[in-house]
Amino acid sequence: MAVSKSDDLPPHVELIQMGRGFVVARVVYAAAKLGLADQLARGPKSAAELAESMHAHAPSLHRLMRTLANLGILTERTEQRFALTELGEALKTGAPGSARSSVIFSGSPSSQRGWDNVVYSIETGKPGFEKAHGETFFDYLGHHPEDASLFSEMMVGIHSQEPAAVAAAYDFSVFETIIDVGGATGNMLAAVLSHHARPRGILFDRPHVVTDAPTLLDAKGVSDRVTIEAGDFFKCVPTGADAYILSHIIHDWDEDQCLTILGNVRKAMNPACRLLLVEMVLPLGDTPHPGKMLDMTMLVSMGGQERTEVEYGSLLTKAGFRLTRVVPTSSAASIVEAVVA
């Protein structure tokens, strides 16, 4: 997200507020981790009424709730009882957008340990997460299935507006078979197939990642049009498609790894295929864009990066593709279309 500037604050105060933004993040994390919104789902309650069931210290819980009211997540009623606001409702388990999962994953000790090494990342260009944990981000998820599920839910929540926007912005009806490479639970593929009746889909990702895909595809009503294949896009990619979607995949990796992935996709493609990268293509200059903040997360967590159109063109050329156009959508993401050169 872009940081808004205020003309009413002296520069030093504005900088101090930016530097202390972590306090807000930690307060919201505490509320999410404790399941506070779920506890208030049936109506206003005081900290004293909640403390025993939440295994919390009542005076400290009250202070948390008062702070959350200051942030607009709760509102204080009579007798020190607090209720959920519209913003607070979004923090409930299962609420649309998966905010609770996103906040818990982003604020978890494992994620924060990566950010503890942000200076290291800037000095070396290497992921702070890997320095902290001794393994890559995705290897870590492979060894921690609960975190992997939270991450998948977070991706669905963060990019909740994108699938429908992508499906509406591009004519997928010209394809018979679409392969979603690294498609996780199939949220993007489901949106495309729901919007376009003709294509069938293949969902391709690592075995532990596609575990939750059948449930999502069934809920979206497209399970009968999707085949799930487990594999590793660093080794190979299924053949037989007219289009290959890589949604927020290329931004996860460094250039050499991107070239390996794109090389495997190129080997699987026939000359008439289309490669479609769904990414936040960065605008030039000072133009605000959420991808410019996300770029730092990619550096610290995974060693990847967001790119401009020119940078995508250069990367695709190295991989044996030709960038044909960039299709904007009504979301922050764009569709980078390419063909085999």
Positions annotated as catalytic residues are 251
**247 phi and psi, to 5 degrees?**
-95, 110
The amino acid at residue 239 is T
Q: For residue 62, give the nearest of 117, 334, 193, 54 by alpha carbon.
A: 54
**162 phi and psi, to 5 degrees?**
-75, -50
Task: Judge whether 87 and 73 are in contact, CB under 8 Å.
Answer: yes
Packed helices 21-34 and 58-70: angle between N→C axes, nearest 10 degrees: 120
- How many residues does this entry show for the chain? 341
Q: Is the dihedral of CA 256, 257, 260, 262 positive or negative?
A: negative
Contacting residues for 20 by C-beta, under 8 A, at least 6 apart: none
What is d(CA 212, CA 141) in angstroms, rounded to the nearest whole number?
14
- Measure CA of the first residue to CA of the last residue in the chain; give whole Å: 35
